[in-house]
Amino acid sequence: MYPGAYAASSPDKPAVVMEDDSEVLTYAQLEERSVRLANAFTAAGLRPGDVVALLTENSPRVFEVYWACLRSGLYLTAVNWHLAKPEVGYILQDCGASALVVSESLNPLAEGDFPALHTRIVIGDDYEAVLASASPEPPANQPRGGDMLYSSGTTGRPKGIKPNLPDRQVDEPGDPYVGVFGPLYGFDENSVYLSPAPLYHAAPLRFGMVVTSLGGTVVVMTSFDAERAIRAIARYRVTHSQWVPTHFVRMLRLPVSVRGGFDLSSHRVAIHAAAPCPVEVKRAMIEWWGPILEEYYASTEGAGGTFIGSEEWLKHPGSVGRPMIGVPRICDDKGALLPGGEPGLIFFERDDLPFTYHNDPEKTRGAQHPDHPTWTTVGDVGYVDDEGYLFLSDRKAFTIISGGVNIYPQEIEDAILQHPAVLDVAVIGVGDPEFGESVLAVVELIASASPDDETRASITEFARARLAGFKVPRRIEFTDALPRTPTGKLVKGKLREEYAG
């Protein structure tokens, strides 16, 4: 399905609601405005396969532009608006965008000479004028477009992930995300989906598309706030939501009186992904919200996917589930298969190559298994147990090698995060003259904790009681805020630069 079907049957139903009451976009409005913008793109010379870049804060405009692309055979590249100007420029240049839709406040980030870019629409008076001058009539030919999104760039430059566009019209069934996640999580026309994360990220953008494909309502937060998020669930009678583990940690830190002050009985499915969730954090969320947490492990690349519900997870704590898309294969650095229970690089076996990196065949080859080209990896390390459940260890790029022993920072971070004074933590390897690398923990404390030697010693002893001695950080530093993407991923490259000495 697509919004046009609901514009005909339920024109006044909200397709998108801003959580702060700033705007409601109905299905009739989403349909007409996306049609007008699609016609404007065509009039500007864009043709199927071209790229539209979008640089804007969370707003209903995101869905108008997305659906304009999806009904025009165009790729949408949603750009992270938290990036610096050179980083934005790199993506605009690399994706070869023919058109850019940008909010007025972010327009300075997109200044520069981009040879392929011939159409720039600034959200505001310019955007409204473009829509007003375009035809509201859907064209006879509406080939299905898609998204070409960029990786988070936590281990280097972001990489553009370019899928093949399907050979079908926008109103024809067959979208893989709708086909998988719709029935898996029970999305339908009665769903109210809370999206607390930035819409430029793959999961919020694509799940919003799933909801508007099936006639539900997306409730969008302009930015995440723990108490406002819980309040939104109660106020809008949210049925579905999606989170990252950092959101859980922030909500669990709220006073019990706040956490228990809202009626969350409408909430049936709480989806989480994007980063590994510490076992104790997830267990606490299940105790609070009930067994409604649904976890999936996947990537923007779509290499493969595993899924697990709450009750299954409680029997296999720490697992990200069993495969539903592709078959996980655990391999050593040379590509040899490893036995069950032994951690290695996670590949997903598929019948066909599921993605390529735009303008970078070398990176595409680097993601492929040396002997099996349709097995691909995004650089995560993990293992599969004897029942077929996948467990994540860490990113390969984050692995610390100390005295020849592999140390996975995620395990250490999960342990330290349980300390009552710790709000957030990142563990990295730093140069060590004896061992090559040693373990450094960079800790963000709760407001009432003191960044002193007493707290440092308390955290060290706490870690020592839960971890093998060689995993306990040899050094702990305090920081006011850790560099995380808005989707919860640690940007460890910045920490390594800061603490390299």
| CA gap 3, 292 in Å, rounded | 28
Last residue of a domain, one of 131, 166, 201: 166
Q: What are phi and psi of 102, to 5 degrees?
A: -140, 140
Neighbours of 352 (CB within 10 A): 7
Q: Which of 405, 468, 416 is nearest to 442 (CA)?
A: 416
pLDDT at 403: 73
What pLDDT is recorded for position 35?
Answer: 98
pLDDT 10s digits, 320-376: 999 999 999 999 989 999 999 999 999 999 999 888 888 888 888 989 999 999 999
Q: Tell whether 426 is covered by a domain.
A: yes
CATH code, domain carrying 477: 3.30.300.30
Whether 43 maps to a domain, the answer reads yes
The parent domain of residue 69 ranges over: 25-166
Assigned domain for 329 exists:
no
Query: Residue 153: what pLDDT?
Result: 62
What is residue 500's predicted lDDT score, i.e. its pLDDT? 74
What are the contacts of 121-127 at 24+ separation with CB within 8 A?
A: 121/40, 123/56, 123/59, 123/61, 127/61, 127/101
pLDDT, tens only, 130-164? 999 999 999 999 999 999 999 866 556 788 998 88
End position of a domain, from candidates 139, 166, 193: 166
Q: Residue 411 has what pLDDT?
A: 87
- Give pLDDT, residue 169: 97
The last residue of a domain, from among 166, 199, 220? 166
Structure tokens given for 131: 């829509």
Mean pLDDT of each 10-residue bin along the chain, 501 residues long? 92 98 97 98 97 98 98 97 89 96 96 94 95 97 96 71 92 93 96 96 95 98 96 98 90 93 97 86 96 94 93 96 94 93 94 88 91 92 95 82 80 92 92 82 94 96 90 94 80 83 61
Number of domains in the chain: 2
| pLDDT value for 246 | 83
Indicate which CATH number applies to the domain containing 148.
Answer: 3.40.50.980
Which pLDDT belongs to residue 275?
75
Distance CA 460, CA 123 (A): 50
Is position 281 within any domain? Answer: no
